[in-house]
Amino acid sequence: MDKEPCLGCQVGEKWRKKRGSLIMALHEIQGAKGYVEWSDAVSLAETMQVPLARIYEVLTFYNFFKLVAPGKAVISVCTGTACYLKGNDKVLEKFKSELKIKEGESTPDGLFHLQCVRCVGCCGLAPVCVVNGKTYGRMTPEQVPEILNEWRETFKEA
Amino acid sequence: MVKLKIDNFDVEVEAGTSILDAARKAQINIPTLCKHPDVDPSAGCGLCIVKVGGRIMRSCCTPVAEGMEIITSDEDLKDIRKTVLKLILSNHPNDCLNCSRSGQCELQDMASEMGIDQNEIIKMLSQEPKDETSGAIVLDPSKCIVCGRCVNICQNVQNVWALSYLHRGFVTKITGANDKKLADSPCIRCGQCAAHCPTGAITDYDNTQKVSALLNNKENITVVQIAPAVRVALGEEFGFEFGSNLTGKIYAALRRLGFAKVFDTNFGADLTIIEEASEFVKRFTGNDNLPMFTSCCPAWVDYLEKYYPENIPNLSSCKSPHQMVGAIAKTYWAEKAGIDPAKVKVVSVMPCTAKKWEIGRDDTMNSSGYKDVDEVITTRELAKMIKAAGINFKALKEEEADNPLGEYSGAATIFGVTGGVMTAALRTAYYYITGKELKTLNFKAIEGLDAVKVAEVEIKKIKVRIAVVNGVGNVEPVMEAINKAKAEGTELPFHFVEVMACPGGCIAGGGQPRVMGATFEKPWGINDGIRKLRSQGLNTEDEKAKNRLSHKNKSIKKLYDDYLGEAGGEKAHHLLHTKYQKRPLYK
């Protein structure tokens, strides 16, 4: 059986002839897989005839792009002005120490991904965190273990 | 031409000139840490600001316009520049006293010239570790000011793409794709990044301690050789004019450093020509794997192995000159001198950082049964050793090299200049084919600093088409033309191609002295004017040489008669030739 052509090659083949289309190609890879893997970047570089160094310049410049598979539950801690002043920095620290990861990273078990966002549009509830679309307002560091357990349970049931 | 006023003086320059360059023409120096003559402006450092009709603009990337009125320095501008520099310094460690760039650092010099005597801005330093993996150059991110010269050189001039900017803002980092270490990246170790870095962020992988250790071990018989390009550049470290050829003084200094014998890589260059010209004649007449590429430049060899592995059969199998000298020193010379080759240690002084890697590139580099070359130091490192030893270089009397591995022809010495290897090889190949000497020994068409130089040389009514590629960044179109002709089965555009990785050749190699200038001679570092002067230093030596032909080097003849036998023969092949392998761009 023929091996299915890799994602990087397919996407590369599609965008190869269009100038300045690297970002679109990267969006497409991330859209399909959730992140841009090394092997896909390598084959994209080959197919599009773009140096790999340039691809990683783009991937790391825009923090939208992810280089590793994100966790199932994406925890967004708002560090916009209101949330930050209301103490979300301490909440962020608590998430980091509980999960033993830094912002922008995922836990090795693939359950959680931690990221910072600037304002989610409900400053009245500050400090705010959002996990997979569910909003948690008036956060305190003490709530962090509870929330994590809640999501662990959710994934266990599923 | 465009007329404008700079600091109230009338200036006339060509259209398209930047304000920065226009000011230089008017004898006004505008400070910059990122603009360098070898690269396009990147508007990185923000120090070159001027006022154009009251508006503040970056002079490196703003072209002149008719009637412009420019102020290059007033209290406002000085104040802003000082703040910008203080911000740069706030991310730079105060490590000057134990930094290898100390005293030769553009950043240090700029701080002193701008009168920075305190910095109230809180220090925020990068904690990134050093990357020493390449064994040729060392990347120290903590000292990087993100001027971008190295990335610019690596990507746009050399077309290597080992270095890139990752991330952005304060955490911007200069490293390989996906944070790969240099040894795992496409880096060819040409060292042009180190030659252009304004700080101590990219430096030589220092081997001076290891050389001192070899010299201090009394069991060793430590011999040394210097590459052609070293002799016309080392003097810059000791106040000589650009291009001064100081061969005799360098020999004298090396003896004072304690080397038992002083040999010359130029002897190896003549030997290379005997092997390479024989190889070319054989391949040319037998139509075997043409075109043939020169193989003296390890950075070029590495580039071909990574980017054009399908062309590996086109490379000459000859080792580079200093590897040949190493192999011969530990066999022929040791035998003749009645010395145990295990005690012979060979040190090469090279204008090149890639040579540090070359000595261990595969097992053919141990053809003598030992490591053919034990250590490589750059011209810069030799200057440091001479200074540290307290040798008054300027006052040294000239000395001769030790024979037989010290004799050389004019053809050998031009190995350090773009076009030189081709010229030397043609002189000998012509003689091998026709039995006669060329009437004119120089080929004007392949001299100078053009990117790709082509010529036709008629040998016995056959036109030999040659190309000389000045800088590995210019090789792509040549390779494409060759590989297209190969694929289509049409006539090859060239039969013989020389490539040197560094623009200008070894005279401007990654290990050559960092040109330091007075206030006005900025920015520091290599430029085409200096490339020309260093080249001239070698070309003049060739023109004045009694013997300008490799095949007339008597010591080389004797080496073949007494020891090697035939050029390209079994013994010569074992000691003087190498093999190549496909190497991945990323590990």
Sequence-ordered alpha helix ranges (H) in chain A: 7-15, 22-33, 38-48, 52-61, 81-83, 89-99, 143-157
Alpha-carbon gap, residue B303 to B580, rounded angstroms: 12
Q: What are phi and psi of A79, to 5 degrees?
A: -115, 30
Asked if residue A92 and residue A57 are part of one domain, the reply reads no
Tell me whether residues B177 and A53 touch, CB distance under 8 A. Answer: yes
A30 forms beta bridges with none
Task: Evaluate whether residue A143 is within a structural domain.
Answer: yes
Tell me whether residues A56 and B178 touch, CB distance under 8 A. Answer: yes
- Measure B86 CA to nearest chain A CA, in Å: 25
Cβ-contact B119, B111 below 8 angstroms: no
Q: How many domains does chain A have?
A: 2
DSSP-based helix, strand, coil % in chain B, nearest 5: 45, 15, 45
Domain extent, residue A99, equals 73-157
Delimit the CATH 3.40.50.1780 region(s) of chain B: 209-576
Which DSSP helix (H) or strand (E) runs through B454?
strand B452-459
Region for B15 from its dihedrals, namely left if φ exceeds 0, alpha if ψ lies in -120 to 50, beta otherwise = beta
Delimit the CATH 3.10.20.740 region(s) of chain B: 2-88
* Last residue in a domain, options A61, A83, A107: A61
Name which of B164, B167, B168 is nearest A53 (Cβ-Cβ): B164
Is A49 an 8 Å CB contact of chain B?
Answer: no
* Last residue in a domain, options A61, A81, A99: A61
Is B181 an 8 Å CB contact of chain A?
Answer: no
Sheet holding B462-470, edge to edge: B292-293, B496-500, B462-470, B452-459
Is A134 an 8 Å CB contact of chain B?
Answer: no
Asked if residue A142 and residue A98 are part of one domain, the reply reads yes
Tell me whether residues B178 and A61 touch, CB distance under 8 A. Answer: no
User: Which residue from B45, B109, B129, B52 is spatially nearest to B83, judged by alpha carbons?
Assistant: B45
Per-residue pLDDT of chain B (587 residues; tens, 9 = 90+): 999 999 999 999 999 999 999 998 888 989 999 999 899 998 889 999 999 999 999 999 999 999 999 999 999 999 999 999 999 999 999 999 999 999 999 999 999 989 999 999 999 999 899 999 999 999 999 999 999 999 999 999 999 999 999 998 888 999 999 999 999 999 999 999 999 999 999 999 999 999 999 999 999 999 999 999 999 999 999 999 999 999 999 999 999 999 999 999 999 999 999 999 999 999 999 999 999 999 999 999 999 999 999 999 999 999 999 999 999 999 999 999 999 999 999 999 999 999 999 999 999 999 999 999 999 999 999 999 999 999 999 999 999 999 999 999 999 999 999 999 999 999 999 999 999 999 999 999 999 999 999 999 999 899 999 999 999 999 999 999 999 999 999 999 999 999 999 999 999 999 999 877 655 555 577 889 999 999 999 999 999 999 999 999 999 999 999 999 999 999 999 999 999 999 999 99
Residues on chain B touching A60 (C-beta within 8 angstroms): 166-168
Is A68 an 8 Å CB contact of chain B?
Answer: no
Asked if residue A79 and residue A57 are part of one domain, the reply reads no
Q: How many CB pairs under 8 A join A and B?
A: 38
- Measure A63 CA to nearest chain B CA, in Å: 8
Task: Evaluate whether residue A67 is within a structural domain.
Answer: no
Flag whether the pTM goes above 0.80: yes
Task: Evaluate whether residue A66 is within a structural domain.
Answer: no
Tell me whether residues B155 and A42 touch, CB distance under 8 A. Answer: no
Tell me whether residues A56 and B164 touch, CB distance under 8 A. Answer: yes
Asked if residue A79 and residue A43 are part of one domain, the reply reads no
Asked if residue A121 and residue A48 are part of one domain, the reply reads no
Searching chain A, which residue's CA lies closest to the CA of residue B169? Answer: A61
Asked if residue A118 and residue A90 are part of one domain, the reply reads yes
Domain B209-576 has CATH 3.40.50.2300: no
Asked if residue A38 and residue A87 are part of one domain, the reply reads no
User: Which residue from B58, B60, B90, B64 is spatially nearest to B77, judged by alpha carbons?
Assistant: B58
Asked if residue A152 and residue A79 are part of one domain, the reply reads yes
pLDDT digits (tens, 9 = 90+) for A1-53: 456 678 999 999 999 888 889 999 999 999 998 899 999 999 999 999 999 99
User: Which residue from B379, B402, B409, B403 is spatially nearest to B541, judged by alpha carbons?
Assistant: B409
Task: Evaluate whether residue A2 is within a structural domain.
Answer: no
Alpha-carbon gap, residue A94 to A100, rounded angstroms: 9
Searching chain A, which residue's CA lies closest to the CA of residue B177? Answer: A53
- Measure A80 CA to nearest chain B CA, in Å: 19
Task: Evaluate whether residue A106 is within a structural domain.
Answer: yes
Asked if residue A146 and residue A96 are part of one domain, the reply reads yes
Tell me whether residues A55 and B162 touch, CB distance under 8 A. Answer: no
- Measure B457 CA to nearest chain A CA, in Å: 36
Asked if residue A51 and residue A78 are part of one domain, the reply reads no
Searching chain B, which residue's CA lies closest to the CA of residue A64? Answer: B167
Name residues whose C-beta falls within 8 Å of residue A149's C-beta, 6 or more positions apart in sequence: none
Asked if residue A50 and residue A27 are part of one domain, the reply reads yes
User: Which CATH number, 3.90.1150.10, 3.10.20.740, 3.50.50.60, 1.25.40.10, labels domain B2-88?
Assistant: 3.10.20.740
Cβ-contact B472, B300 below 8 angstroms: yes
Alpha-carbon gap, residue B455 to B226, rounded angstroms: 31
Is A99 an 8 Å CB contact of chain B?
Answer: no
Delimit the CATH 3.30.70.20 region(s) of chain B: 124-204
Asked if residue A136 and residue A116 are part of one domain, the reply reads yes
For the purposes of burial, counting CB atoms within 10 Å of the CB of B171, is it exposed (0-12), middle (13-18) or buried (19 or more)? exposed
What CATH fold (topology level) applies to the domain B124-204?
Alpha-Beta Plaits (3.30.70)
